[in-house]
Structures are given as structure tokens and as C-alpha cells.
Structure 1
Amino acid sequence: MNIPYLYAAGALIAIDNGERRMWTRHHLALEDGRDIHVPAVVVSQAWRDSRRQVRLGEFLAGCAVTPVGVETAKAAGILCGRAGTADVVDATVVVMAATLGAVIWTSDPDDIRTLTDAQDVKPAPVIRTV
């Protein structure tokens, strides 16, 4: 059984910028049969121009882009309150990763760690830096 990956905005931005290390990680994850998840709000955070982001669009076709339901949205808001932060997108990433048992790929591990600490879920999601 493979542990799924969940990508935060930094992972999408790395892909959009053509960073080979992130592309390699992603391809290896797919070869391993991992499920790759991206919360829809993360796409909103990274998406700016369809004409210039063709590569990112192709990348997203290989991911499960998941809408955020009301229960996840509420849990993310509560988590922001506990952590003393206003970044609902990062909080959504943490909530979804905990639910899925997923490894979080992010360019901002400190912010994600603040949220995982405030969530107090054991075991906490694993955080990897893009």
C-alpha cells in the first residue's frame, strides 16, 4: 500500500516553473502507484493564465483535484483559529492530508508544521519540502 501525496501550492508552482526535481518526484510517485491529491483551492492559489500554464494544466490531469466540502472548510477554519493563522488554503491542505493519511509536499514547511502542530492529530502528516 502506497501512502498518497498531497500537493500544496509550492509544488504546483515548482511544476509550473519546470523544476526537474519536482517533475521527477511526481513521475516516481505515479510509477509507484501513489494517489496524488490537490485541493481545488490550491489550484486557485497557483493558477493565473491558461495560455502560459499549459504545463501545469497537463500536470493537473494526472492528479485528483478535490473540491473542498463544507466540513473540510469548517475544519480548516477551526484549525486557523487554533494555529493563530489566516491561511485557509494551507489549513485545508493540512486537514485533507490528515484525512487521507497523505504526505504533504510544500515549499513552506514551517507554516504547514505550525498547522499540523495545532491540529494535534497523531500521527501528524509527514511534510516534505519541494
Structure 2
Amino acid sequence: MSNPVFVYDTGMLVALDRAEQHARRLHQYVAEQGHPPVVPLPVLAQAWRPGRWTPLSRAVPQCTLFGVRSSAPLSCGVCLAGHVEDDAKRAGRILASAAIPAEKRPDAVDALAVVIAARHPEAVIVTSDPRDLTAYRDALPGAAEAIRVLDVTDLAAFLAGKRVLR
């Protein structure tokens, strides 16, 4: 995998908000690469808490907020285009067909993160729910080859060069 686009799920934003060392290190690493980390707008809505400054307040401006044209890198046509109607339809299809764990409920935000990641040639989704995201990825035809999933609990191992991508 060469220069994948990193897509943050809510779990990664929560880890950044808690100032977890490995989350900060990964964010710094990703922010220094060619494409800024991608945060789908619904993911930001799940993680953002108003009325106070947090470490997340510092991290978000270094990200591409997917769906906000002004934050998209000029070199990424996918991010510049933003959401298209088919994104919602694809997310709905994988919500209906994904083999998520029995104790979980379908999550449209997770499904949309997978769809956004799949629109990039290569992507890594950073999440605290790797089983869910892997299930959604596997339900999207062709996505398993282009998308990897990284559990926030494996950030230290990933940064140390260990093979932890799913």
C-alpha cells in the first residue's frame, strides 16, 4: 500500500480529543503525508462537543472535512467533489447486507465512512470499531482490496512498523 488516504472514524477523533499519545503521533504522521486525513462530516458531528477548547479543536483544521469544499485538497478530485447521491445509496446497501456483530445496530456513519474511503484508490480507516468497519467494507463489492482498517488500539504497533492492518 503506497500513500493511502487515512479516513478517521469517531474512535480516532475521540482518541485525539483525549490527547492519546499514539493517536497524536499517527495524526502528525498522516498530516505530513501528501493527503490530509479525511473526516466525514457525520463523524465530526459524533465526536464534537461544543463550548470548550480541546485537542480535537487543534486537529480538525489539519484534516479534510469530507463534504466541505473549502477544506478539500486541490489535488484530490474525490474530496473536491464531495458527496454524491450514490454515496447514500451505497451506504444503505451495505447497511442492509453487512454481517455486523449481532450485538450491534447498523450505523449509517460507519457505512458512509467506508463509502468515502472506497472512493479513494487506497485508504486506511482508523477506528475503535474494527469489526464493524471491516464488515461494512466486506459488504461493499471491491472494497476489500483497496481499504484497510486500523484499530486505534493498534496505533503504537502500526507506528512501530508492525503489520496490524486488517
Which residue among 102, 105, 124 is the counterpart of 1:103?
124
1:28 and 2:29 matched:
yes
Which residue among 115, 121, 130 is the counterpart of 2:136?
115
What value does the CA root-mean-square deviation take over the aligned residues?
1.7
Aligned pairs (5 A) from 1:60-79: 60-67=60-67, 68-79=83-94
Letter in structure 2 aligned against 1:18: A
Q: Which has the larger radius of gyration?
A: 2
| TM superposition shift of 1:124 | 4.3
CA distance in 1: counterparts of 2:3 and 2:146, whole angstroms: 17
- 8 Å Cα contact 1:3-1:103 kept in structure 2: yes
Unaligned runs of 5+ in 1: none
SS of equivalent residue, structure 1 residue 22: helix
CA distance in 2: counterparts of 1:69 and 1:42, whole angstroms: 17
- 8 Å Cα contact 2:117-2:123 kept in structure 1: yes
Unaligned runs of 5+ in 2: 68-82, 100-104, 153-166
| TM superposition shift of 1:53 | 4.4
TM-score by length of 2: 0.71
SS of equivalent residue, structure 2 residue 145: coil
Letter in structure 2 aligned against 1:73: A
TM-score by length of 1: 0.89
SS of equivalent residue, structure 1 residue 65: strand
| TM superposition shift of 1:29 | 1.5
- Return the structure number with greater relative CO, CA threshold 8 A, min gap 6: 1
| TM superposition shift of 1:4 | 1.1
Label 1:35 to 1:71 Cα distance change in 2 as closer, same or farther (>3 A).
Answer: same
